Structure formats: C-alpha cells, structure tokens
Amino acid sequence: MDEILRSFYPRPFRYIFAWQEHPTFSDLLKRTWDGDNFLANANSFTKEVKDWNLSLFGDIGKKKKRLLARLKGIDTALAKSHSDSLVDL
C-alpha cells in the first residue's frame, strides 16, 4: 500500500543543512536562484540540488539500508557465537 501511495504523492523536498558546508553549494544556489519568481526559483533549485546531491553523495538511503542490514547480520552472528573479528568491526 505504501508503494502505491508514494507513486501518487512524491516525497516532500527536504533541505539538508550540511549542504551549506560544501564549497560548490553557493555557486549552485546563485545559478539556480535568479530573479523574483519564487516558484520558478524553487523548482529550479529543487531539481538542481537533487541531482547535485546524488552526484556528490550518492544514494544515502540505499547506503543506509545496506549498512543496517550488515549490522543486523553482525549482531545475529554475535548472538550465535562470539567472534573477536566481528566485535572489532
């Protein structure tokens, strides 16, 4: 059901504060925010920043999901038997 709803309602845009720390962010903002038309500027910025974020940082959601699965596997293995190499991870 959630997948069906997501196809009809796109995720809301979320501004990530850490973007401001990246040296190319201010250039992206200046390039996409031009003039007085707020809606056009917001749309332009949103599209560009999503592409910029993906190219710089990759798909954070997939990386997070993969890491959580790995941690769960390590936790499961440690619950079965002690392993110094897994504890060191």
**Contact predicate 32/49, CB 8 Å:** yes
**Contact predicate 33/47, CB 8 Å:** no
pLDDT category, 86, cuts 50, 70, 90?
A: confident
Helices (H), 1-89: 2-8, 25-32, 38-57, 60-80, 84-88
- For residues 39 and 86, which has the higher predicted lDDT (pLDDT)? 39
pLDDT tens digits for range 1-59: 556 655 667 778 888 898 999 999 999 999 999 889 999 999 999 999 999 999 998 88
Predicted pLDDT at 4: 62
- Quote the Cα angle for 35-36-40, to 5°: 80
Predicted pLDDT at 81: 85
Predicted pLDDT at 47: 92
pLDDT category, 85, cuts 50, 70, 90?
A: confident
Reading phi first (left if > 0) and then psi (alpha if -120 to 50, else beta), residue 81 is in beta
Can you say how many angstroms the Cα of residue 27 is from the centroid of all Cα atoms in its chain?
Answer: 20
Query: Where do the domains of the chain lie?
Result: 1-58, 59-89
pLDDT tens digits for range 53-79: 999 988 888 999 999 999 999 888 888
